[in-house]
Amino acid sequence: MDLLLAATSLDVTPPPGHLLDGYAARTGPATGTADPLRATIIWLTTADAPGVLWLTLDAIAVGAELTAELSAAASHAAGIPAEHVVVSASHTHSGPSGWTGQIHPVIPAEREAGLYEPLVSAVANAVLARQPVVASWRSVEVTGVGTNRHREDGPHDNTAGVLALHSLTGSLQAVLLDFACHPTTYGPENLLWSADWPGAARAALGPAVVGYLQGAAGDVSPRFTRQGRGAAEITRLGELLATRVRAALAEPGLALPSTAPSIRRTALRLPVRSLPPAGDAAAIVRAAERSIRTGVDDPSARIAQTRLDGARGQALMAAADLPAELELPVSVVTLGDVCWVNLPVELFALHGAVLQEKSSHPITRVIGYSDGYFGYVVDPTAAEAGVYEALITYFDQPTTNQLVAETAAFVNA
């Protein structure tokens, strides 16, 4: 039986005049577009099985409401149950806040019907014509795009995972690409919509449809690799990734079976950590303020600034009415030897490596920012140092260990 592919990439760029997401320091709404924001559909199925539909979106995150809406829209377009749809965000910091609304108390935001309704409608009305394809897998090392953003030699999975889908005549129809690195080439001064370097990588790999999945990138970014913050640097970083992917595609890959991928789902209930009293949280903010060096833009200065952002975010969390626990959706997609573990968090690289090590599957890719958003999951070093991500995480270290252990057990179930 043939493996069938339907793939399309939709331009879902909003009009200017709406707030961008990702940076608390932004001072105004979008004034235009640097490059288009896309919703990309890659649906793998067979004639008698629904398979899996990946919907990848150029957004900071996909909250629970937006995930439900987009899953239902993609389900309608494909005629399959919504449970077979995985919705993932690229985590670009130059997309609209109005699609998903507030993802964390750090950056207050509201959903805007005038933004998310056209997005959902575009997905629901996508034309999904299926064709037989052959699936193959490649993994390739990529250097120069991102590193651990706290220390350059820190943990980071520098491999890109490449699911290639060729027509029966050999032409490349689609690529499902995953890599771990924050799309933060543009900084808070940017007021243009942009997919950042993942969008540049997609464009360089065309005309095939390219879906981008963000990996365990919680502590990975271009902080130590970027040479600027403008469009030219976005193109340079995207081309670096695309060049390595093209080289991998030029070589024979691991043949995957012509069977529909399968998906399993579960939910993890995790307690929210205890936050410091308001007075203690304010003292942490004051201490972080004293470390700021004005007029300096180097990695150490940016780390100091993000620590201040984190201290302020923790103070906002301490003042907020947070729930006692959170329910995190987790899913596992398998196609032959390849397994994708999808989580609604920003995992640190160390946790991604642990999940890969514990997996019984020959090839395991850890994907974050999927089917919801529940912030950072930090490693012990970050928790002890009190870095930005540790200050605003919902989870303490015992709960983090629980998340990783329960996810690993589900992957191997």
Q: Identify the residue with better confidence: 107 or 355.
A: 355
How would residue 307 be classed by pLDDT, with cut points 50, 70 and 90?
A: confident
Q: What is the mean pLDDT of residues 295-312?
A: 77
Q: What is the mean pLDDT of residues 200-221?
A: 97
Asked which of 134-148, 311-325, 348-362 is least confident by mean pLDDT, the reply is 311-325
pLDDT of residue 222: 96
Does position 95 have pLDDT exceeding 70, yes or no? yes
pLDDT of residue 296: 66
pLDDT of residue 105: 86
Q: How many Å is the Cα radius of gyration of the chain?
A: 20
pLDDT of residue 318: 86
Q: List, for residues 4-20, the tens digit of each pLDDT value.
A: 999 999 999 999 999 99
State the chain's mean pLDDT as an integer: 95
Asked which of 61-75, 112-126, 384-398 is least confident by mean pLDDT, the reply is 384-398
Question: Would you give the end-to-end CA distance of the chain in angstroms?
Answer: 27
In the chain, what percentage of residues exceed pLDDT 70?
A: 100
Q: List, for residues 32-80, the tens digit of each pLDDT value.
A: 999 999 999 999 999 999 999 999 999 999 999 999 999 999 999 999 9
Listed residue (390, 282, 312) closest to 23, CA to CA: 312
How many Cα neighbours within 13 Å face the side chain of 258? 12
Tokens of 252: 């024979």
Query: What is the model's pTM?
Result: 0.95
pLDDT of residue 309: 82
Does position 378 have pLDDT exceeding 70, yes or no? yes
In the chain, what percentage of residues exceed pLDDT 90?
A: 84
Does position 295 have pLDDT exceeding 80, yes or no? no
Q: Residue 299 region, left (φ>0) first, then alpha (ψ -120 to 50), else beta? A: alpha
Q: Where are the domains of the chain?
A: 1-261+330-380
pLDDT of residue 293: 75
How would residue 286 be classed by pLDDT, with cut points 50, 70 and 90?
A: confident
Q: What is the mean pLDDT of residues 369-388?
A: 94
